[in-house]
Amino acid sequence: PDVGAYEYGKENYWIPGFQDTIASVPVPPDNSITVKTDADLMWLKAYKANKSDVYFGTTSNAVQKASKKTNAYKGSFKNNIFSPGKLVSGKTYYWRIDAIVNNTLRKGTVWSFKVD
């Protein structure tokens, strides 16, 4: 086994702390400016969340208003790790995690980061 919160090849990243009614504790942290081009996104799932819907894009407004019918929607996941693929240096990205708790959607906060 690996040492630390993330074990290579696992589907979830362990993040300690209080589980809110919406997803929280984004990794990378909101407004980060030193994110690497191969970064994965991780979050603390909402309390009792069955799934998390991931929204990801290059404009805050598009991610804020995104629905499952838009390009910003990247899927529904049982785990708390999303790999967006190769990121572009100098570019700012925005992301949102909506929690699904007992078939009820809880819209998340839009977070951002800049790639180093």
Across the beta sheet with 41-44, the strand order is 24-27, 41-44, 81-82
pLDDT tens track for 74-84: 999 999 999 99
**Left (φ > 0), alpha (ψ -120 to 50) or beta: where does 69 sit?**
alpha
- DSSP, res 63: H
Asked whether residue 7 carries a pLDDT value surpassing 90, the answer given is no
3-state secondary structure of 65: helix
pLDDT tens by residue, 28-70: 999 999 999 999 999 999 999 999 999 999 999 999 999 999 9
